[in-house]
Amino acid sequence: MWLVHNGVPFDVAFSLDDTMRQAMAIKCSEFHGAQFDLKTMSFKERE
């Protein structure tokens, strides 16, 4: 639902495989100011 909330069409969001869905969700989160650390595969704490 996070992708739909961020403007991805419903049919596209629910047709993605797990890897692409996660990548798009991470990118949408980064648009909102979050920082994702690829080494730890987790979001960095906001300071």
Residue type, 29: S
Give the pTM.
0.77
At 39 the pLDDT is: 96
Separation of alpha carbons 38 and 25, rounded Å: 14
Q: Which residues pair with 37 in a beta bridge?
A: 42
Are residues 27 and 5 in contact, defined by beta-carbon separation less than 8 angstroms? Answer: no
Extract the tokens encoding 12. 């596209």
pLDDT in tens, 28-44: 999 999 999 999 999 99
Phi, psi torsion values for 19, nearest 5 degrees: -65, -45
pLDDT band at 46 (very low <50, low <70, confident <90, very high): confident
